[in-house]
Amino acid sequence: MDSEAVTKYSKLHAKPLGLFLQYGTAGFRCKAENLNHVMFRMGLLAVLRSKKTKSTIGVMVTASHNPEEDNGVKLIDPSGEMLAPTWEEHATFLANAEEPQLHCVLTEICQKEAVDLQNKAFIVIGRDTRPSSKELSQAAIDGVSVLGGQYKDYGLVTTPQLHYMVRCHNPYGTYGTPTVEGYYQKLSKAFLELTMQAASQMDGRGGLKIDCANGIGALKLKEMESYLSERLAIHLANDGREGKLNHMCGADFVKVHQKPPVGLQMNPGERCCSLDGDADRLVYYYVDTAGRFHLLDGDKIATLISTFLQELLIKAGQTLSFAVIQTAYANGSSTGYLEQTMKVPVHCAKTGVKHLHHKAQEFDIGIYFEANGHGTVLFSKAAEDKIRYQAKEEKDLQKREAAKMLENTIDLINQTVGDGLADMLVIEAILVLKNLTIAQWDALYTDLPNRQLKVKVADRRVISTTDAERRALAPPGLQEKIDHLTQKFKLARAFVRPSGTEDIVRVYAEADSQENADKLAHEVCLAVYHLAGGFGDPPKAV
């Protein structure tokens, strides 16, 4: 390792004295002006990770659904997954080292992980459309270059596209062709084959209106549209020409505020959806003839996909283990519908994609979606091999047809991470194949009214949880208070969990009516404020 070169370049990307940042589930995120040194150092770390794994590693510059003035970075592991937890610790340690300690920290990581510095390193880099992203991505490239790593800069891509590129490189070409064109070709081929038998029905269904959050999704949808052979008519709103990224639009805004984004004209019964700023989240919605807004979030998406896959598995005669993985945020009605009506096993994991992804890997087919619309479907290697073999060799025509549809679904889904574009095509295919309107999909079950709020606290670490974050262990008395408050309402449930990135506590409540869900959420907020060191003014009623 050339310590002089590292020191020289590090001074060009100097760390502000005393600044501390934590690598969380989504990597590093904060105001863009505080990230230059972090980007440089994540370039360094990506090279070490690549040399350690003898694989291609990804560096994605994005802050997803955060405001435009924020930015962030995350590293992507060889199979397109989130960075391994021990390396998250190295990332935090490296990002926070003061300048004189930088070389020592790098050496320590190499020793701990037995990194052979003679190995080659190859890094792929992508960025979102934020004004700060180009300069920050150059800082990451500087970090890669100073340690002698080779790299490919994909420029403007969605986060899921970069995850896809990483997976395609490890080993090269087995998952797909590692180009943006290769991504579009793989998805469009699967979509067109899957919907072939229902092509005539698609004409009369009307187009899909897509809120692109003024982010990268708009650019990529415009590129992908020609690959879909006019099978799906799309109309883009918030495409970045006017509004600010994620401002009053995007999947997170729609989910949290439970109302449509600005800039999207809606007529009764029209299918509408929103991506987030880096296109890894997706929610659907519509207004009915009475003008009421209906949100179809990650729970509804998981239900639709699992119903479709279960029917195909039965038709194909496949006996594969199958489960839906949810978090504590999943609506109680969705859990009840899946378990009681569909007889699909449901498991609860801690909030955060890596926890859901890990749990989903325990099954032949694991479906996971967070309520916020981030999710995907994982197929084990054995399940995929069985399905592909049956699609080719099965003698029974009906079973072979079902297996072929399963095979196309495998190819349409981005198994590396939640992908708003891929998930959108899966949903559109299922709706046309099952001949469902968005209102009929919505009517599979009725969500319990719910409310999400947050409480500022002096130190979020005073809150600790158990049972996949559904119960509070500390501070003392908080869970007992939540239990007492919940008993006052019908069909009620509430939980609290600390934010992973800032000193706030997130509160979730559901009950038999919106009024009661709002009351319960507010009362739980007050309990958190008084028992967990609330900061500033007490929470106000919704």
- What gap in Å lies between CA 436 and CA 441, rounded to an integer? 6
- 372 is annotated as contributing to ligand binding: yes
- 153 is annotated as contributing to ligand binding: no
- 370 is annotated as contributing to ligand binding: yes
Q: Which of 10, 50, 55, 64 is catalytic?
A: 64
What's 344's DSSP letter? -
- 501 is annotated as contributing to ligand binding: yes
- What gap in Å lies between CA 415 and CA 304, rounded to an integer? 17
512 three-class SS? coil
Contact 6, 147 (CB under 8 A): yes
- 499 is annotated as contributing to ligand binding: yes
- 276 is annotated as contributing to ligand binding: yes
Per-residue 3-state assignment (H helix, E strand, C coil) for 259-293: CCCCCCCCCCCCCEEEECCCCCCEEEEEECCCCCE
- 506 is annotated as contributing to ligand binding: yes
Selection from 280, 225, 268 nearest residue 76 by Cα: 280
The CB density around residue 475, as the number of other CB atoms within 10 Å, is 14
- What gap in Å lies between CA 46 and CA 51, rounded to an integer? 9
- What gap in Å lies between CA 412 and CA 433, rounded to an integer? 15
The two structure tokens encoding residue 85 = 């937890």
Which residues share a beta bridge with 465? 472
Q: Would residue 64 show up in a list of annotated catalytic residues for this protein?
A: yes
- 204 is annotated as contributing to ligand binding: no
- 500 is annotated as contributing to ligand binding: yes
- What gap in Å lies between CA 272 and CA 269, rounded to an integer? 9
The residues, ordered by sequence, that sit 6+ positions from 300 with a Cβ below 8 Å of its Cβ are 284, 334, 441, 442, 444, 447
The CB density around residue 365, as the number of other CB atoms within 10 Å, is 24
- 274 is annotated as contributing to ligand binding: no
Which residues share a beta bridge with 234? 208
- What gap in Å lies between CA 103 and CA 1, rounded to an integer? 9
Binding site feature residues for Mg(2+): 64, 276, 278, 280
Binding site feature residues for substrate: 370-372, 497-501, 506
- Positions marked active-site: 64
Binding site feature residues: 64, 276, 278, 280, 370-372, 497-501, 506
